[in-house]
Amino acid sequence: MKILNSALFLFAVPFSAIAEDPTPSEQPSEPVRITITGSLSPQGMERVGKPVTVLGEAELRKNEGSSIGEALANQPGVSSSYFGPVASRPIIRGQGKERVRILENGLEMGDVSATSDDHAVAMDTLITERIDILRGPSTLLYGSQAIGGVVNVIDGSIKEEDVGKELTGKLDFRQGDAGNGETGGGAVLEGQEGELNWHVSGYDRTTDDLKIPGYAESAQFRAQEEREDLHSEDEASKGRLENTDSKASGVKAGVSRVWDKGFVGLAIRQTNSNYGVPGGHVHQEETATNPILGVTPQEENVRIDLQQTKIESRGEIKLEDPLFKSLQFGTAYSDYRHVELEGEEIGTRYDRKAFETRLLLTHKHNQMLEGGWGLQFNHDDLKTKGAEAFVPSTATTTPALFFVEDLSLQDNLVWQFGGRYEHASLSPELDLPKKDFNLLSSSTGLIYFTDQKKYSAAVNLSYSQRAPNATELYANGAHLATQTFEVGDQGLSQERSLGTELILRKLTGSTRGGLTLFHQRYLDYLNLSPNGQTKDSFTVFGYDQIVAQFWGLESEIEQDLVKIGFSNLSLYGGVDYVRGKNITNSDDLPRITPLRGKTGLKYKYDGLDTYIESIFVAKQNQTAEFELPTDSYSLLNMGASYSIFRDEDASVELYVKGTNLTDEEARVHNSFLKDQAPLRGRAFFAGLTTYF
């Protein structure tokens, strides 16, 4: 089967030099006008100047996992931090954590997933309507923490248009095979009563320990520890990744009023999750053989129990003015906490209260100039407590002003430009000094599209700044998730980045797809690297500033092979690549995604939808200090869905899917746990979705 996977991959390569369409599998004959994250109004893809991927319900269900990171890990330019199946955060073009901002309906998510790799994103895809991914710097609209990209999770809880029915919605139930023991379900109910639209949704998901092809530890890891006998590990753990079971649930309710001049709404969400962290934690007094590759002393299983309550409000007022179009606003408040449990004892506690408000005034003049001016205010109060709290409690406040403009130079040529000023103020406890940063970002670009809107091309130039966060400035302790002793530097300055992108798209026809080429140079990249010292049996890693470069490409394509009536057979594929270098000393940067490829066949006929695909990930041997190479792997996946009942208002759909059908050992190079926690082995899932 491995030969079959490689053959499928090679077959796709000649086609994939032209791709970059959000979801080419779902592209109609004419471009759809939708409001995509990063744009101010509904528009076709031909006017979108950023590399963006839009995942609807069907694509999310195909890629759905126990976390947002898993669900997005095979999208172009996107990989995963993979600290087990639950704590898995998106990585975009080699950037993660504090450089990739995760939003909920365009507003702050409010969790602590950017603080440490073992912290989960407080959201599940079971009740998600859509996810937008913006690759590359998106600081103008969303702030300095989006210097690497944005992931926006959209759930439709605040309706912007009338539902038009007393009751509608969907019920979703899915079951995994006995080896993974996953059971999950979600429900979305919506309706309209008079002038009010309401939304109620909820989900529940339970998983057992992950089934893996062999041993949790890689052969390279054993050799590093002089444990070359593959059977030295307890046989009871073979085929299973211990302490990866989880239970998560959540509910959300929203209400909105829609009228001819706008809408206004309010929503509240409650999320609960309890999950195990694979690999264990090691106490500081124990001796570590290698802080990056793992430890040989007794490790203690750690579980994280998190809860979040979040309130959001959004609205828009359409203005009766010859110049100004609308006034849009959004506000979110999150009360988050989690405890890290060592048995029955609480080891560390994180409490975060986050507030964000945005105001955007949009305008349009003579069909030529369209844009918006806005302000944003964020306040983040993070409290940490416990022996393993390596970052002090810190309050961060960031007010900002920004503008973005689209100027039509010709009917099919658009100039986009904008700027942002942001002030970041960090106030830590423990008598540490307060830090303030003034940040400026700007971008400009040109978009050209043909008269038939069949082809489009864009070139972007950007300059972005990001302030150091509390970890980079004030960390001073053992970071047990990564087995390092992290030391911040209070003398760090802001991070500066210059970015360029070239985007080519073919939007319609029997061949659809695109290509993006990118280059991003950091003048003051905040880099975590070993400094040659040890403390409490861990190697000390400190933050310094270097010159760094990231460059690469992202591509996708879909080719219709046979299209007769309701029957359509198509071939799809893609390739992405990113290279990260420390220009200061010519070293490779750590945890950079290797070359990846994807190809597959899809067949649709009436209510039947099937696919078979191969995902190939190349070996990564361009590694940093304390980092082992990662072997290549191929995954073979397939699935099918069938609508057994359909009419204008209701449908019942059955679906099945199998992942990693060859049961191959696969390890994610981006992960700190790659040599201790492989991806899931062969697994099967079945489910039923009812729309009414």
- Summarize pLDDT for 525-561 with one digit per residue, the tens: 999 998 888 988 888 999 999 999 999 999 999 999 9
Whole-model pTM: value is 0.91
**What local confidence, expressed as pLDDT, does residue 22 receive?**
39
- Say how far apart CA 417 and CA 147 lie, in whole Å: 17
pLDDT band at 209 (very low <50, low <70, confident <90, very high): very high
User: Is the pLDDT reported for residue 2 higher than 70?
Assistant: no
Helix, strand or coil, per DSSP, at residue 473? helix
Q: 636: closest CA among 616, 661, 657?
A: 661
**What local confidence, expressed as pLDDT, does residue 471 receive?**
95
Question: Residue 283, class by beta-carbon neighbours within 10 Å (0-12 exposed, 13-18 middle, 19+ buried)?
Answer: middle
**What local confidence, expressed as pLDDT, does residue 365 receive?**
82
Whether the CB-CB separation of 68 and 118 falls below 8 Å is answered with: no
- Say how far apart CA 206 and CA 186 lie, in whole Å: 12
- Say how far apart CA 97 and CA 116 lie, in whole Å: 8
Of 11-15, 90-94, 308-312, give the lowest mean pLDDT range. 11-15
**What local confidence, expressed as pLDDT, does residue 237 receive?**
67
Q: CA gyration radius for the chain?
A: 24
272-293 mean pLDDT: 62
pLDDT band at 44 (very low <50, low <70, confident <90, very high): confident
Region at 518 (left for phi over 0; alpha for psi -120 to 50; beta for the rest): beta
